[in-house]
Structure 1
Amino acid sequence: GGHGAHPHVALFYLLIAILIGTVVLHLMILPMFHGLQQTVILFILGVIFSAMFEGLHVNDDVFGASHAMWMQIDPHLLLYTMLPALLTGDAITIDTSIARKVGRQCIYLA
């Protein structure tokens, strides 16, 4: 029979993505990268990696199989799993004095 990729292979791409994000975050501390935005750098790296994998058709190795699995994921599932963590991260860093000042306006607009 044919051998497909095991489900745990998807974790490889996730761990590499987290590692790359952490490295980019730490590089942002350096003065030469101070003016760049982290999201722009991560977007560009993502486009480069995806173009490389799609252009070279690298699906035979573990990383290629993991990349292919992540490209097949339901976007709503990704949104629903990541959104709570992103909202929590932003809520933790909110300036409460400003939130008190604009709280009524936010409730009115909502």
Structure 2
Amino acid sequence: MNNMAVCNYIVGVLGAVIGGLIMQAAAAFPLEFTENGPGPGFWPFSLGAVLGAVSVLLLLYTFINKTDLHGVKVQLSSTGNKRVYLMMGFVVLFCVLISILGFYPAAALMI
């Protein structure tokens, strides 16, 4: 499980699924352009599409280079990764605080 190919496959599939879910949720809002600019669903839909496309590219890259990537070991408990996990926790906490306190108090606490 600790080789780069397996990790890339997991991240690629999760990214594609999350991108698809973002696109599905954004499609509930108007996407078309008006005289005031794009509809409220345009940018979230675009970001979901980009996430899905980049995830598919990661899967294709991993499939093409799977023999090289099987030799690359991933150390999930390194110091750099622990910092990333900490920041991910802060982002989750921020999202929870938004639903409890509202955006401005949560943003002030996050900053």
TM-score, normalised relative to structure 2: 0.32
- Return the index of the structure with the highest Cα Rg: 1
